[in-house]
Structure 1
Amino acid sequence: MYYSSGNYEAFAHPRKPEGVDHKSAYLIGSGLAALTAACYLVRDGQMKGERIHIFEKDPIPGGACDGYQYDIGYVMRGGREMDNHFEVMWDLLRSIPSLETEGASVLDEYYWLNKADPNYSLCRATEKQGQDAHTDGKFAISDQGALEIMKLFFTPDEQLQDKKITDVFDKEVFSSNFWLYWRTMFAFENWHSALEMKLYLKRYIHHIGGLPDFTALRFTRYNQYESIILPMTCYLKDHGVQFFYETKVTDVQFNIEIGRKQASSITVDHKGQVETIDLTENDLLFMTNGGCVESCTVGAQDKAAGFDPTIKPGNGWDLWRRVAAQDPSFGNPDKFCSKPEESNWESATITTLDDTIPQYIEKICKRDPFSGHTVTGGIVTVKDSSWLLSWTLNRQQQFRDQPKNQLCVWVYGLFSDKPGDYVKKSMRDCTGKEICMEWLYHLGVPTDKIEELAEHSANTVPVMMPYIDAFFMPRAIGDRPDVVPKDAVNFAFLGQFAETPRDTIFTTEYSMRTGMVAVYSLLSIDRGVPEVWGSTYDVRCLIDAAVKLRDGRKLTDMELPFVKKLALKEALRKIEGTDLEKFLKKYNAI
């Protein structure tokens, strides 16, 4: 496997891998990473679909990329934001047929949609019961805070092993709008990994200027299940890929020798019927280890999702523990799943049932929420919420069968253990109705109307996810296994807890990249995996981000000691009349 960039390999079709007709594939899980791996096995690996087997413990595919209507109402556990430089995602989705537009791909309809209806926010944050917090597109960070961010950006990964964000930042960063934007958009907590914070900064340095208003983001037309997962599963089924639902893989065994590691068997439990499948070198195994939505609990309008801090990790974690016990190169799952109090947050899907609540939404987002176009343009954060509540409406309807007079709102709180500001209970102890009441309070709904609207004008389904932020827990090199560990001959790890260079977790792109890397590695496909977008090495992006982070202030406006100011003045004098001076002026640095 190797990396490539540019158009030369982007549009090439690889030759059929040698011996692929004699190989089979077994995939554990049907989340985005596994579905991606299966699609690449079919498209570029040219493996026959009937030789590809996908085992899924749930009755439907998709993993964390969900969006379903249950008897208790519509449920979206999370949301996914995309950008134009998700290179693997676009490489694959150009080959997945649209379910709605004949002759078009999923990429085509996504591209057309976001061109016609570009994303941007008109209100990033509120306070004081629905009033605009007037962050006004500003980061409001001091020079000292900006220097702390710059220092982290250039700190080697090796120096950030097991460190927390609080080890590298202080109030100069934590009190800024930058941190408000950052933590709520990406769901970082102060005690999370400084290494992941650094990797995010490097990966998305080209989007710093788009953080205040979300102009950098793109969204699908419907929820992620209907817009991404369904087209991929239809593509796979059309090619004969075998899906086995309500089927758990409870164990994987390996033959491990010096210089060679082979998956030798998997134990499969289908509704109580247990079977062991022996694997040869020609049987490729793709394992989704861990899982951010494992062990989640779903509440209802009149039922709290709850939270049990002693909860045992679910099947994805349990299986990874069994696997990791067999070889050190298979990672350290306990680094991620042993402290659910530090890795949880709670979300809720609020469905409005009449026209009473939408007027309060429109007042904040300044758009007609029923237009079918961009509504909030990303999350609206309630700056003074004890739960640090954020909420969003993507394009409506979010579900194809959703009634046109209803809206689906996604709400989440980073601090699920704190008492609310209106409902004096922790979010985790609140019913759906009570979570809706807290949200309505922060929308600015008069207090004498709140309970009535939450009861009769909305249906709210809460979901507690104990491990949703598990991948942000402080870690060290080796805690996540490589996608294809050294000396592995027939197996790979997939998903957010597998290690692939430079890209960052908690994105659709990361999951899909692990799937592509795994297939290209095990089948030696003669085509490059698209390189991660190189903005971190682009001096234009670096200068642009530095200026925008400081809200447009020039280098000459920096708070510097007298001697350093003199040195800066002399340096600028030396570049007068050069291309370097023109460059710095173009990006408003001087």
Structure 2
Amino acid sequence: MRDSVKAYLIGGGIGSLAAAAFMIRDGGIAGGDITIFEATPLAGGSLDGGGDPDGGYTLRGGRMLTTDNYECVWDLFKSIPSLEHPGQTVYEETIAFNELHKTHSRARLVDRNRFKVDVSSMGFSMQDRLELVKLEEADEKDMGDSAITDWLSPAFFETKFWYMWATTFAFQPWHSAVEFKRYLRRFMKEFSRIETLAGVKRTVYNQYDSLVRPLQHWLQQQGVQVLFGATVEDLSLTDDASTVTAIRYLRNGETQTVPVRPEDLVFFQNGSMTDASSHGGMHSAPPKLDKRDSQGWALWEKLAAGRPQFGNPAAFNASIPESWWASFTVTLKDTVFFDRMEKFTGNVAGTGGLVTFQDSNWFMSVVLAHQPHFAGQPQGVQVFWGYGLHPDRIGNFVAKPMAECSGEEILRELCGHLNFDYAEVMAKANCIPCRMPYITSMFMPRQHSDRPLPVPAGSRNLAFVSQFVEVPEDVVFTVEYSVRAAQMAVYQLLGVERAVPPITPHDESLKVKFDALIKSFK
């Protein structure tokens, strides 16, 4: 054990939790020497899940998982015991669950006539194919902060491929071309099956219950201390910014300072895609908040001022209209909606993935997960989740922007797209909408230098662990990105000789390339 080293982690999201686990498992640091500062009452960050059957369950979102790509996530969770299945790890529990519940969507896209769209063809023209190849082969150094629209013609954004790819991963046409290119390469294996989502894997419950809770439980068993309600306001650094010397935080109305020695470690979760999120209710829309209300970006902005090695947060948080969308979680106390959806889609809940209404002004999608979706969810209660990528637009059936709609109005819009009778299928529904102003901020066009390295050049004891760091070839908006950044940072700062699991090069497989080529010409 490294008895002399203490570690401090700022933010209790999956990146910090993973870093703590890697320090204990691979770095020889005692759990009792690790402290996590979390401003909210819960750990998990953006991997959240809460509520109850009476007040309504809430999910801001869910990250897509695969077993073919998430090398660092599964390396971690092969070491974390399941909370519900003694003798199994979280990884083994997840694999067993997905063997029982395989994804094969039968209603990936629905058109304005409530017909299921034939998605056997991607709808590409030869120009689309050539432009995609040019983008996929471009050098990131030459791409700079270009947008997807700089590389692909307007007609591409009307293809069935775009409707499916954009809603699976939450891309907008104005987002970063570099990130879009990375997705094309990282998930090339999914290209040929994007219409069925067969490569998507799911956790037993929502990701808070299935990933965060068992990981947090294991960390607490190792003696890791989590200070909830603790907001870190500043870090003291040496003149060359190479070493953190103190942490100042606010808790219970009192400002406290923790001295940090040169041999100690500090991990900082810079930025948050769910910062300034707000919830509405069945009869109220979510309030409009931004970073001034939450101060969630303040520490990174303070640290980065005059220190280019710490990145440029303004590249990501300066334009809410380009980075926001809205989601909603629906709690039902009868089976009418699920029964009607199963009949309409041909999928039992948990086997279909996203159902996207391609002509929806809100660009709305819904997904019905296997039930129960929350640990402790009572029998007879069902939960589903949905979102709209264009919440600023007037609905097709409700004459208001999605962002200004209550839960009831969102459900009426949904029923309009499905041609369901609202009074029949939503009689016992509770819909909680959520506004997320920075949810795709990490997709914003940016220069290579706008994201710090997990361990910035010259740093001796400070690491950045988040969706806003630079991990070559990997893709943001995934659990894998945060966990990989954490593993890289821990191994580098502690000199761990064990290798970080490499990214699986599916895009170099001849079979994967051939399958993608065949799919593009259908």
User: TM bucket by the smaller chain?
Assistant: over 0.9
**Cα distance per residue 1:255-302 (max 9 Å; x no partner):** 143xx7111221111121111222111110000000000001111111
- Show the counterpart of 1:558: none
Is 2:460 aligned against 1:489? yes
Question: Could you tell me how far 1:453 is from its partner in structure 2?
Answer: 4.7
The counterpart of 1:112, out of the listed 96, 107, 131, is: 96
SS in 2 for 1:403: coil
- Show the counterpart of 2:253: 272
- Show the counterpart of 1:288: 269
Is 2:323 aligned against 1:343? yes
Equivalent AA in structure 2 for residue 291 of structure 1? S
User: In 2, are the aligned partners of 1:202 and 1:536 still within 8 Å (CA)?
Assistant: yes
Question: Could you tell me how far 1:357 is from its partner in structure 2?
Answer: 2.1
- Show the counterpart of 1:415: 390
The counterpart of 2:346, out of the listed 351, 358, 366, is: 366
Within 1, Cα distance between the matches of 2:18 and 2:113?
43
- Show the counterpart of 1:144: 127
CA RMSD of aligned residues (A): 1.5
Change (3 A) 1:506 1:159: same
SS in 2 for 1:199: helix
Q: Which runs of 5+ in 2 are unaligned?
A: none
SS in 2 for 1:166: helix
Q: Which moved more, 1:79-88 or 1:220-229?
A: 79-88
Question: Could you tell me how far 1:160 is from its partner in structure 2?
Answer: 1.2
Question: Could you tell me how far 1:375 is from its partner in structure 2?
Answer: 3.7
Is 2:475 aligned against 1:504? yes
Question: Could you tell me how far 1:358 is from its partner in structure 2?
Answer: 2.4
Within 1, Cα distance between the matches of 2:472 and 2:347?
40
The counterpart of 2:243, out of the listed 262, 271, 274, is: 262
Within 2, Cα distance between the matches of 1:453 and 1:363?
13
**Cα distance per residue 1:384-425 (max 9 Å; x no partner):** 111000000111110122222222111100000001111111
- Show the counterpart of 1:82: 65
**Cα distance per residue 1:328-349 (max 9 Å; x no partner):** 1000001100101110000000
SS in 1 for 2:403: helix
Question: Could you tell me how far 1:171 is from its partner in structure 2?
Answer: 2.6
User: In 1, are the aligned partners of 2:56 and 2:430 still within 8 Å (CA)?
Assistant: yes
| Equivalent residues in 2 for 1:192-341, closer than 5 Å | 192-257=175-240, 261-307=242-288, 312=292, 314-341=294-321
User: In 2, are the aligned partners of 1:27 and 1:286 still within 8 Å (CA)?
Assistant: yes
Within 2, Cα distance between the matches of 1:363 and 1:547?
32
Change (3 A) 1:67 1:129: farther
Change (3 A) 1:313 1:483: farther
Within 2, Cα distance between the matches of 1:307 and 1:133?
35
- Show the counterpart of 1:8: none
How many residues in Structure 1 have an aligned counterpart in Structure 2? Answer: 520
Change (3 A) 1:326 1:255: farther
Question: Could you tell me how far 1:312 is from its partner in structure 2?
Answer: 2.7
User: In 1, are the aligned partners of 2:275 and 2:291 still within 8 Å (CA)?
Assistant: no
Question: Could you tell me how far 1:365 is from its partner in structure 2?
Answer: 2.5
Larger Rg: 1
Within 2, Cα distance between the matches of 1:365 and 1:348?
20
- Show the counterpart of 1:97: 81
Question: Could you tell me how far 1:188 is from its partner in structure 2?
Answer: 0.5
Within 2, Cα distance between the matches of 1:33 and 1:364?
39
User: In 2, are the aligned partners of 1:432 and 1:459 still within 8 Å (CA)?
Assistant: yes
Question: Could you tell me how far 1:91 is from its partner in structure 2?
Answer: 0.6
**Cα distance per residue 1:33-77 (max 9 Å; x no partner):** 110001001111121111000010110110000111157310011
Within 2, Cα distance between the matches of 1:436 and 1:129?
18
Within 2, Cα distance between the matches of 1:138 and 1:324?
46
Equivalent AA in structure 2 for residue 432 of structure 1? G
Change (3 A) 1:102 1:386: same
SS in 2 for 1:21: coil
SS in 2 for 1:346: strand
TM-score, length-scaled by structure 2: 0.97
- Show the counterpart of 1:121: 105
The counterpart of 1:190, out of the listed 173, 184, 198, is: 173
User: In 1, are the aligned partners of 2:276 and 2:296 still within 8 Å (CA)?
Assistant: no
Equivalent AA in structure 1 for residue 305 of structure 2? A
Q: Which moved more, 1:66-75 or 1:527-536?
A: 66-75
User: In 1, are the aligned partners of 2:408 and 2:431 still within 8 Å (CA)?
Assistant: yes
- Show the counterpart of 2:379: 404
The counterpart of 1:153, out of the listed 136, 141, 144, is: 136
User: In 2, are the aligned partners of 1:393 and 1:410 still within 8 Å (CA)?
Assistant: yes
SS in 2 for 1:482: coil
Is 2:406 aligned against 1:431? yes
The counterpart of 1:33, out of the listed 15, 26, 36, is: 15
Within 2, Cα distance between the matches of 1:46 and 1:458?
50
- Show the counterpart of 2:444: 473
Question: Could you tell me how far 1:159 is from its partner in structure 2?
Answer: 1.5
TM-score, length-scaled by structure 1: 0.86
SS in 2 for 1:437: helix
Equivalent AA in structure 1 for residue 141 of structure 2? E
Equivalent AA in structure 2 for residue 77 of structure 1? R
Question: Could you tell me how far 1:129 is from its partner in structure 2?
Answer: 5.5
Change (3 A) 1:400 1:532: same
Equivalent AA in structure 1 for residue 512 of structure 2? C
Within 2, Cα distance between the matches of 1:109 and 1:261?
42
Equivalent AA in structure 1 for residue 207 of structure 2? Q
Within 1, Cα distance between the matches of 2:424 and 2:367?
22
User: In 2, are the aligned partners of 1:298 and 1:305 still within 8 Å (CA)?
Assistant: yes
Q: Which moved more, 1:274-283 or 1:125-134?
A: 125-134
The counterpart of 1:47, out of the listed 11, 29, 49, is: 29
Question: Could you tell me how far 1:130 is from its partner in structure 2?
Answer: 3.4
**Cα distance per residue 1:91-147 (max 9 Å; x no partner):** 110100010111110011111111232222111011236321222x32111121011
SS in 1 for 2:296: helix
Q: Which runs of 5+ in 1 are unaligned?
A: 1-15, 552-590
Equivalent AA in structure 1 for residue 310 of structure 2? F
Within 1, Cα distance between the matches of 2:181 and 2:296?
27
Question: Could you tell me how far 1:451 is from its partner in structure 2?
Answer: 5.2
Question: Could you tell me how far 1:326 is from its partner in structure 2?
Answer: 4.5
Within 2, Cα distance between the matches of 1:215 and 1:367?
13
SS in 2 for 1:44: helix
- Show the counterpart of 2:145: 162
Identical amino acids, percent of aligned pairs: 36
| Equivalent residues in 2 for 1:454-465, closer than 5 Å | 454=426, 456-465=427-436
Within 2, Cα distance between the matches of 1:144 and 1:411?
33
Within 1, Cα distance between the matches of 2:217 and 2:78?
15
Within 2, Cα distance between the matches of 1:108 and 1:473?
36
Within 1, Cα distance between the matches of 2:70 and 2:335?
38
Change (3 A) 1:459 1:298: same
Equivalent AA in structure 2 for residue 123 of structure 1? A
User: In 2, are the aligned partners of 1:28 and 1:54 still within 8 Å (CA)?
Assistant: yes
Equivalent AA in structure 1 for residue 404 of structure 2? D
